[in-house]
Amino acid sequence: MFIGIFINDNWDIPHPLPTACRRVGLTSPKNLEDERDPKYSGKDASKSTVSRVKGLFIYPVKSCMPVELEEGEIVPTGMKYDRQFSFAQLVTSRPEKQADGSEKTEHQWRFITQREVPRLALVKAELYVPDPTNVAYHPNREDVKNAGCIIVSFPFRSEVSFSFKGLKALNEILKAKYLARDWSVEPRIAFNIPFLPTTERMKRKNYPPKENMAIWKENPEAINMSSEIPSDAIEKLKYFLGVSNPLTLFRVDASNYREVFRCAPKEDEVGYQPVVGFADAYPLHILNIASVQDVAERLPAEQAKDFAAIRFRANIYLTGPQAFAEDHWKRIRIGKSEYHVSCRTARCKLPNVDPKSGVPDRNEPYATMAKYRRIDEGAGIYPCLGMQVTPMDGETNLIKVGDEIEVLETGEHFYIKQ
């Protein structure tokens, strides 16, 4: 575990980066850079048009910044490494009168997302995994035994005053700017956590017993990672996010995945009951770039200018078909693997958050989508964009940018609420 101040990839103090590991993902945005190109609008699509994977993304920490991939693995919970962690705040219920006249309150860890804490969009989660080709690799190294680590970082400017602490904070800021060779940038606070802590490490670091973390209407047992996070880092993160309740980070407990029912295929159909980690509802989320372009064309000019598909936080972005053709997909093949297209994605106001600033727009794109994308009777007042997808088997499969997407079956959908 470490905490430091850094800017971009430059650190102002020595730090124990996982030397036996490699960083997962592309170091800079790549495959969606031209997403606004009219050639992806789908307006010239025909029956002979080939649909392909345009971009792949995972979100190691729920509602935080994504990691872009060129290829990835599909596992039963979705994309490997996706949404395995989530921040949560401790919520206290209102006092309830008991039969003896006393009052009782309950305390519950509840997950948080950009819906209520939009500045999560600015929290970066870099993923490092063991690399057997690395000269420093050894199975007994701590980072290797813990399946790598995640480096969590967020912008933070300490309050500057003429006190000793204030001058020290100013020095930290100036050092970070100097190292970045950019006087406009802000320093970031960072800490790292093991990706999958061993039982031995959990005992040594005095982890709390597994606790229930409420996510929607479910309360799965999960691993409280508070023992890995320096107290001053979590306090600064609370200040940055605007969270006043106790805050911590939870990890999915692999023995307590949440089973997926509703519109997903059943065990007797695919041989296993679909599961998720901390994804909202289904293992995978796909999105057609042409559909995003259609929404963008209807937005007010100011909102449309820099409108990006990443607002919708899909795993698989695709190009080829006409806008909203995916609304009626039921079963598809990507590469060599088949997928069940379980239902449409009912949209809340989370995509109103600008991923670059962490600032939510009061109306858009929700207001525009609500005018013409309330297309699923089951979703009620919620507009729909994108599709929720379930792997058709419980095996590990590879997916790559450029893979062809073949539509095997189409039909109607009826969204079932959580």
pLDDT in tens, 175-207: 555 554 544 566 889 999 999 999 999 999 999
3, part of any domain: no
Of 100-104, 110-114, 122-126, 227-231, the one with minimum mean pLDDT is 100-104
The region of weakest confidence among 63-72, 169-178, 190-199, 342-351 is 169-178
**Residue in 275, 255, 226 with CA at minimum distance from that of residue 391:** 275
Whether residue 377 is predicted with pLDDT greater than 70 in this model: the reply is yes
Rounded to an integer, the average pLDDT of 61-75 is: 97
Buried b / exposed e over 351-388, threshold 16 CB at 10 Å, is: bbbbbeebebbeebbbbbbeeebbebebbeebbbbbbb
- pLDDT for residue 1: 46
| Dist. CA 112–CA 243, nearest whole Å | 10
**Mean pLDDT, range 248-263, rounded to an integer:** 95
Provide the mean pLDDT of the chain: 89
Q: What is the pLDDT of residue 175?
A: 59
Among 155-164, 220-229, 282-291, which is the least confidently predicted range?
155-164
Tens digits of residue pLDDT in 14-49? 345 788 999 999 988 799 999 999 999 998 877 667
How confident is the model at residue 418, as a pLDDT? 84
pLDDT attached to residue 171: 60
The answer to whether 122 touches 104, Cβ cutoff 8 Å, is no
- Parallel, antiparallel or unpaired: strands 51-58 and 404-410: antiparallel
What is the model's pLDDT at position 104?
A: 66
Q: pLDDT-derived band of residue 394, with 50, 70 and 90 as boundaries? A: confident
Give me the mean pLDDT over the 110-124 stretch: 97
Higher pLDDT, 166 or 52: 52
Residue 13 · residue 283 · CB < 8 Å: no
Domain count, the chain: 1
| pLDDT for residue 9 | 43
- Name the burial class of residue 329, with classes exposed (0-12), middle (13-18) and buried (19+) by CB atoms within 10 angstroms of its CB: buried
**Residue 395 pLDDT:** 86
Is 416 inside any structural domain? no
Q: Is residue 10 part of a domain?
A: no
Arithmetic mean of pLDDT, 135-154: 94
> What pLDDT shows up at residue 295?
98
Q: Does residue 76 have a pLDDT over 60?
A: yes
Tens of pLDDT, residue by residue over 268-305, are 888 889 999 999 999 999 999 999 999 999 999 988 98
Assess contact for 308 and 352: CB atoms under 8 A.
Answer: no
Look at residue 16 in the predicted model and tell me its pLDDT.
57
Cα dihedral 107, 211, 207, 242 sign:
negative
Share of the chain above pLDDT 70, in %: 87
- What is the predicted pLDDT for the residue at 397? 93
What is the rounded distance in angstroms from the CA atom of residue 257 to the CA atom of residue 388? 18
Within-domain flag for 8? no
Task: Judge whether 418 lies within some domain.
Answer: no
Who has greater pLDDT, 176 or 115?
A: 115
Cis-peptide into 274, omega within 30 deg? no
Model pLDDT, residue 162 = 45
pLDDT band at 72 (very low <50, low <70, confident <90, very high): very high
C-alpha to C-alpha distance for 115 and 44, rounded to whole angstroms = 36
| pLDDT at 115 exceeding the cut of 80 | yes
Q: Quick check: is 61 in a domain?
A: yes
pLDDT of residue 149: 96
Cα separation of 89 and 91, whole Å? 6
Flag whether pLDDT at 97 surpasses 90.
no
**pLDDT for the residue 170:** 52
- Residue 214 lies in domain: 22-410
Kindly report which listed range (2-16, 46-60, 92-106, 234-248) carries the lowest average pLDDT score. Answer: 2-16
How far apart CA 333 and CA 407 sit, in angstroms, is 7
Q: Give how far Cα 94 sits from Cα of 91, 97, 104, 107, Å.
A: 10, 10, 8, 10
Residue 190: inside a domain: yes
Six token digits for residue 325: 């053709």
Task: Identify the band that residue 172 occupies on the pLDDT scale cut at 50, 70 and 90.
Answer: low
**Alpha carbon distance, N-terminus to C-terminus of the chain:** 37
How far is it between the farthest Cα atoms of the chain? 73
Average pLDDT of span 383-406: 95
Average pLDDT over residues 325-335: 96
Report CA torsion sign: 393, 395, 396, 398.
Answer: negative
Q: What are phi and psi of 143, to 5 degrees?
A: -65, -35
In a domain, 417, yes or no: no
pLDDT at site 176 = 52
Regarding pTM above 0.85, the answer is yes
